[in-house]
Amino acid sequence: MLYRVKQRERGYALMTAAACSIGIIAMTGLSVDLGRMYIARNEAQTFADSAALTAAVQLDGTLAGLTRARSAVTANTNRWHLGTTVFSGTKTEFATLQTGPWNANPASAAGVLFVRVRATTNPPLYFIPIVAGSSRGQVDAASVAGQVPKTGFREGSFPFSPIAHDAADPNFGLVPGHLYTLRWAAEPKLHHSNVCEGDDIQSIIDAANATGPERGFIEESSAENIRQTIEADRMTRPLAVGDTVVMSGGAKQTQQDSIVNRVRQDTDLTATTYAEYRANRTGNGRRVILAPVNTWNPDYRVLGFAAFFLTEPSTYLAANGGNKPFCAEYVGNYVQGSDHNGAGGPGAYVVRLVL
């Protein structure tokens, strides 16, 4: 009788072990499939984030900019299925606001500052189909990036501050395509070769002459620090809209070589204007600089930041001596890290993920 009881107990144990094994196998299979879905979700989000960022950099208020944004998404090198499979069926849409409405093919690119990239993947499943009946999962990811205003900088601002012509104008009274002064000559004169053509106005020349030794350099008097700021985008202190720039007097003629070196960091040395530079599409952006525009004497208050285009090296090499100006072409708005201006109004922008 005792032998039969032990046989029954062993039978129950085997049945229990078999049932538990099935449960363990099922849970292991579920974990494998869920892990696969989790990895695919991270891969899809990485793709959407990086694609949206690179696309948003391309926006410049033109339909050509939208085309470049779409191409940037297509060219994104991120993959899924452990980095082996290209994303397909992605959607790229545009909007003037970060919340939409979204349009894949807007009729106008004016004011289009945001890009939404959506990606879908269907990772294969091996255990879930036993109970769910589907051999493929679905993973969706979306990301929104855009050009958002930036009012302060800790690096990247040039150590020159041009004079605002009109403090009430969003463009500071400056006209895109015209040359404005980075470094003033010692004694600027109306209709003279020692004045940049955009500043060839008596009231502006009077303002420059009223400052005495101040020639347009800001913040630093050390030639080495100025060189690092020009050539390597370093700043000795942060600067924001509303701050007062500290003018640094003197001709700073040694910085002539620094500006030439900065120009030569670009991959387009032949363009004579910003329009030609954009048309060439061979530049890397180093000739597009960021500079604060200030109210000048007496308060030297920063009204905003703007993009300027450095002319070809010969123009700076010709500015020998302290009675020659350093000029740069006014571009308009500035997008940090871009080789061109952006889609927004006047001011400075940075490309960020916003949703």
With 60 as the cut, is the pLDDT of residue 27 above it? no
Q: Which of 130, 147, 164 is the last residue of a domain?
A: 147
Enclosing domain of residue 50: 2-147
Phi and psi dihedrals of 155, rounded to 5? -155, 155
Number of domains in the chain: 2
Give the torsion sign (CA, 300, 301, 303, 307). positive
Q: Report which of residues 219 and 276 the model is more confident about.
A: 276
Task: Tell me which DSSP letter residue 124 carries.
Answer: B
User: What is the CA 282 to chain-centroid distance, rounded?
Assistant: 18
Looking at the domain assignment, is residue 162 inside a domain? Answer: yes
Looking at the domain assignment, is residue 64 inside a domain? Answer: yes
Q: Which of 101, 116, 147 is the last residue of a domain?
A: 147
- Are 12 and 156 contained in the same domain? no
Looking at the domain assignment, is residue 342 inside a domain? Answer: no
HSE toward the beta carbon, residue 61, CA cutoff 13 A: 13
- Are 125 and 194 contained in the same domain? no
From 261, 267, 240, 22, select the one nearest 131 (Cα to Cα): 22
From 244, 220, 247, 214, select the one nearest 234 (Cα to Cα): 220
Q: Which of 79, 114, 147 is the last residue of a domain?
A: 147
- Are 105 and 172 contained in the same domain? no
pLDDT at position 128:
61
Task: Encode pLDDT of 299-345 as tens digits.
Answer: 899 999 999 999 999 999 988 777 889 999 999 999 998 989 999 99
Question: Please, what is the end-to-end C-alpha distance for the chain in angstroms?
Answer: 73
Contact 128, 33 (CB under 8 A): yes
DSSP 225-254: HHHHHHHH---SS-EETTPBP-EEES--TT
Q: Report which of residues 297 and 90 the model is more confident about.
A: 90
Looking at the domain assignment, is residue 355 inside a domain? Answer: no
Give the list of residues 6+ apart from residue 46 with CB closer than 8 angstroms, or none.
Answer: 78
Give the torsion sign (CA, 341, 342, 346, 352). negative
Q: For the residues 23-51, what does the mean pLDDT come to? A: 74
With 60 as the cut, is the pLDDT of residue 266 above it? yes
- Are 8 and 43 contained in the same domain? yes
Task: Encode pLDDT of 212-261 as tens digits.
Answer: 677 888 877 778 888 899 999 999 889 999 999 988 777 677 888 999 99
- In the three-class reduction of DSSP (H, G, I as helix; E, B as strand; rest coil), residue 239 is classed as strand
Looking at the domain assignment, is residue 347 inside a domain? Answer: no
Query: What band does 350 get if pLDDT is binned at 50, 70 and 90?
Result: very high
Residues in the chain: 355
pLDDT at position 295:
94
- Are 61 and 162 contained in the same domain? no
- Are 51 and 194 contained in the same domain? no
Q: For the residues 279-291, what does the mean pLDDT come to? A: 96
- Are 302 and 232 contained in the same domain? yes
pLDDT at position 214:
73
Rounded Cα–Cα distance for residues 333 and 192 (Å): 29
- Are 307 and 160 contained in the same domain? yes
With 70 as the cut, is the pLDDT of residue 4 above it? no
Mean pLDDT of the chain: 87
Rounded Cα–Cα distance for residues 182 and 57 (Å): 27
- Are 86 and 196 contained in the same domain? no
Looking at the domain assignment, is residue 345 inside a domain? Answer: no
Structure-block tokens of residue 229:
């700021």
**pTM for the whole structure:** 0.85
- Are 77 and 196 contained in the same domain? no
- Are 204 and 184 contained in the same domain? yes
pLDDT at position 2:
47
Looking at the domain assignment, is residue 341 inside a domain? Answer: no
Phi and psi dihedrals of 146, rounded to 5? -160, 170
Structure-block tokens of residue 180:
């404005």
Q: Is 278 left (phi over 0), alpha (psi -120 to 50) or beta?
A: alpha
- Are 223 and 302 contained in the same domain? yes
Q: Report which of residues 338 and 131 the model is more confident about.
A: 338
Structure-block tokens of residue 352:
């960020």
Helix axes 63-74, 2-57, angle to 10 degrees: 150
Contact 331, 345 (CB under 8 A): no
Rounded Cα–Cα distance for residues 103 and 112 (Å): 10
Looking at the domain assignment, is residue 343 inside a domain? Answer: no
With 70 as the cut, is the pLDDT of residue 10 above it? no
SS3 of 137-196: the string is CCEEEEEEEEEEECCEECCCECCECCECCCCCCCCCCCCCCCEEEEECCCCCCCCCCCCC
Rounded Cα–Cα distance for residues 57 and 66 (Å): 10
